[in-house]
Structure 1
Amino acid sequence: MLRSIASFAFLLMGARILGKQTVSQMSIFDFIATISMGSIAANLAFNTDTEVHHMMIALGVFIAVTFLSAFISLKSRRGRKLFAGDPTVVIENGKILEKNMRKMRYTLDYLNQQLREKDVFAIEEVLFALVETNGTLTVLKKPHFRTVTRQDLNVPVNREQRLPIELIMDGDVIEKNLTENHLSQTWLQEELKKRQLKRSEVAYAVLAANGLVYVDTYKDHIKSPVDEE
């Protein structure tokens, strides 16, 4: 039990040191290092034939090497290229670059799957498609296939200069958010009164970037709510 707790603590500490990079954002080097650290931590938890301090040293070394590689990548373009590699173009002006795909052992089936995930069902719509260093596909459509924006139509928009501010979560008022954004409890109560609500009835409330307040109550008043996973 103590070894398992120590293993979890070391992994948690390593994750905090290495930052918030998600699995989908990992380079090949990051993925290998993470798998190795997980294997060492598992052995620390249940392999009683190995000394605890040996496992901790090995885990510490892997964390240090991964952190060092991230630091080098941050400071040096050559370092980034060494550890992460470069993106690879797989479609150019609607043409599939089979040679580049063969280098990565990247199949047409997988290319089509990733294109569909980007809402692209016709390859001729694509100007460029690149496989990033973390394996995701980035797609730039040809100009006449791109989604029209308000800027394209010269439609005026209201400026948004802040993130949404959570006011109530799980029925509790987030005092810190009110204070940091110069909002008062009185103002919040007035907003709830406008909706004929009491604070105890509110599950979630947020001040959107456009200045409007969204409020969700515990009672949704839906006669036949969808109950599917």
Structure 2
Amino acid sequence: MEQIFFTSWTSILRTIIIAVAAYAGLILMLRGSGKRTLSKMNAFDFIVTVALGSTLATVLLTKSVALADGLLAFALLIGLQYLLTWLSVRYKAVDELIKGQPALLVYQGQLLHTAMKAERVTEGEIMASLREHGLSNLMQVEAVVLETEGSLSVIKKSSDEPVEVLGDVSAPSIS
């Protein structure tokens, strides 16, 4: 019968040593790759994070995977992430492919239902975001933007002049 709760002290010791070494290696690589690797996540960042976690688990628990193989996998994943972010800073097409574009959901106090439906955002989520920013109704809002990493930015009305900070957001279509 297979041993469910305890295999051997050697197995426990191996797991401890590999966990400490792999964790330390991962931390050093992440710190060395720059702040961008650990920033707010877009879809590609999320994929790399899940892949790193899966790789760490595999290295820790699969005896046939050597520590060096796991560290190489970490380096490759982080290197690919670094390459993508480097390319996205230099080429707008790569940036748009990786991050997408922010979406305007409210413009000058009007809900943009077509955009909300396309982005799967409810009126309740928008209202919750307004409350988080100390606002009680849409008439106090110049714009609400769904950012590329999924957060909602609320731009308060400050005067009768339209806000000029929406340069990278598509023009509204009120419906």
By relative contact order (CA 8 Å, sep 6+), the higher-ranking structure is 2
For residues 194-219 of structure 1, the C-alpha deviation after alignment (integer angstroms, 9 at most, x for no partner) is: xxxxxxxxxxxxxxxxxxxxxxxxxx
- 1:94–1:124 contact (8 Å) kept in structure 2: yes
For residues 150-193 of structure 1, the C-alpha deviation after alignment (integer angstroms, 9 at most, x for no partner) is: xxxxxxxxxxxxxxxxxxxxxxxxxxxxxxxxxxxxxxxxxxxx
- Following TM superposition, by how much is the alpha carbon of 1:23 offset from its aligned partner in structure 2, in angstroms? 6.1
1:4 aligns with 2:19: yes
Aligned partner letter, 1:60: A
TM-score normalized by the length of structure 1: 0.57
Number of residue pairs matched?
Answer: 145
Aligned partner letter, 2:123: L
Q: Give the Cα separation in 2 of the matches to 1:91 and 1:28.
A: 24
- 1:91–1:128 contact (8 Å) kept in structure 2: yes
1:62 to 77, 98, 118: 77
Gaps of 5+ in 1: 146-229
How big is the alpha-carbon RMSD for the aligned residues of Structure 1 and Structure 2?
2.1
Gaps of 5+ in 2: 1-15, 161-175
1:43 to 58, 75, 80: 58
For residues 6-29 of structure 1, the C-alpha deviation after alignment (integer angstroms, 9 at most, x for no partner) is: 221222123113322486622221
Q: Cα gap change, 1:98/1:22 in structure 2, threshold over 3 Å: closer, same or farther? A: farther
Identical aligned residues as a percent: 28
1:17 aligns with 2:32: yes
- Following TM superposition, by how much is the alpha carbon of 1:62 offset from its aligned partner in structure 2, in angstroms? 0.8
Q: Give the Cα separation in 1 of the matches to 2:115 and 2:136.
A: 21
Q: Give the Cα separation in 1 of the matches to 2:92 and 2:133.
A: 29
For residues 98-120 of structure 1, the C-alpha deviation after alignment (integer angstroms, 9 at most, x for no partner) is: 11122221222222222211112
